[in-house]
Structure 1
C-alpha cells in the first residue's frame, strides 16, 4: 500500500490530481490496476488517504518541534520552523497539487491551514510562554507564509536567487528574535 501511495503522490504532483489516472498510478507502482482498486476504490479515495497521511506526518513533526521549542531560543526555533516544510517535501510533495486541484476541498484546505497554524503557534508559545494569544496567531501566520516561501525557493517554484533562501532564513530569525525574546518591546 505504501508503494501505491508513493506512486500516487508522484503522479499527482507531476500531472495534477484532475489529470492523473488510476492506470498511471498503478503503472508507476508497477502494480496491477486491480491491486490499486482493492485498496482504493477511486482516485478520490487515494487523495483522501494521501491527505490523511500528510496530516499525520505534519502532526508528528509538530509534536517533535513542540518538545524542543521550550528549550530553544527564538533563532533556533526560527530555523527549525523554516526548514520544516522543506524537510517534509519529499514525503508530502503532492499536497499542493491536491489542495489546489479541487474547489470542493475548501474545508480540507482550511483544516490543513488550521493544523499548520496551530502547530506553529504551539511552538511559539512553548518558546515564549508570555506571548499574547492574538500576537501568537499573527506571528504564526507570518512564519507559516515564510515556511511556504522557503519551500518554493528551495524547490525552484518561486522566483529566487542563490542567496535568497539564506536571506529568508535570516529574516525569520530576526523576526522571531524580536517577537519572542525576553524583554521584547511591546507591539
Structure 2
C-alpha cells in the first residue's frame, strides 16, 4: 500500500518530551511549506522528512501516514481561523458592508504565514479523507457568522453561499499577490473593489431587518 495513502485510522503520537515536541513542530512546518508549494497530492512523506532534516522513521513515529499529518495541520489551521473569525464577528456589527469586505478579503492573505497550507488542503483532490471538506466548512462557517452579525436579517443558507464566494475571492487575491494567478499591477485593487460592491449589494437589504 502507498505510504502516503490511508493506513487505517491510527492516530498521531503526542510526544511528552520537549525534544519530541520540537521535532513534531519541525515536521509540521516542513509539511505545511511543501503542501503550500506543491499541493497535498504531490507532497510525499519522504519529502517532508527531508525538508525537516529528519529521518523518515522519525516522521512515521509521530504520524502513521500523510493523512495524519494533514489532519493535524487542519486542526491547527481551524483553531487559528476560529479565533480570528470570532474576533471579527465581535466587530462586524459596527462595520458597514464595504469595510467588512476589505477586512474579510485581507483575512486569509494576512493569515497566510500562520495557515500557509490551508488553501492546498481545501483544494486537496482525494476521496480518502474528510480533511478538505472540514477545512472548507470551517472557513465558510466563520465568514458566514461575521456576515450575519453585519446583516442580522441574512439567513444562514444565503450567508454560507455568500461566504463561499468571499472565500474564493480571498484565495484569488492571495494568488495574485503571490504571483500564482494571472494579474496586472492594478488587478488586486480591482478585485477588492469588486468584493466591496458585491457585499454592499448583498448585505444592504438585510442590515436593518
In structure 1, stretches of 5+ residues that fail to align are none
- Tell me by how many angstroms 1:134 deviates: 4.3
30-39 or 48-57, larger mean C-alpha shift: 30-39
1:2-81 → structure 2 map (5 Å cutoff): 2-81=25-104
TM-score of the two chains, using structure 2 as the length reference = 0.76
Residues in 2 aligned to 1:81 and 1:105: alpha-carbon distance in whole angstroms: 31
Change (3 A) 1:71 1:22: same
1:92 aligns with 2:92: no
Residues in 2 aligned to 1:16 and 1:27: alpha-carbon distance in whole angstroms: 17
- Equivalent pair of 1:70/1:126 in contact (CA under 8 Å): yes
Residues in 2 aligned to 1:19 and 1:145: alpha-carbon distance in whole angstroms: 22
Match of 2:160 in 1: 137
Residues in 1 aligned to 2:31 and 2:206: alpha-carbon distance in whole angstroms: 49
Aligned mate of 2:141, from 109, 118, 121 = 118
TM-score of the two chains, using structure 1 as the length reference = 0.83
- Equivalent pair of 2:121/2:132 in contact (CA under 8 Å): no
In structure 2, stretches of 5+ residues that fail to align are 1-23
Higher relative contact order (CA 8 A, sep 6+): 1
Residues in 2 aligned to 1:15 and 1:8: alpha-carbon distance in whole angstroms: 10
Aligned mate of 1:176, from 186, 199, 202 = 199
Change (3 A) 1:174 1:40: same
In the alignment of these two chains, the number of paired residues is 184
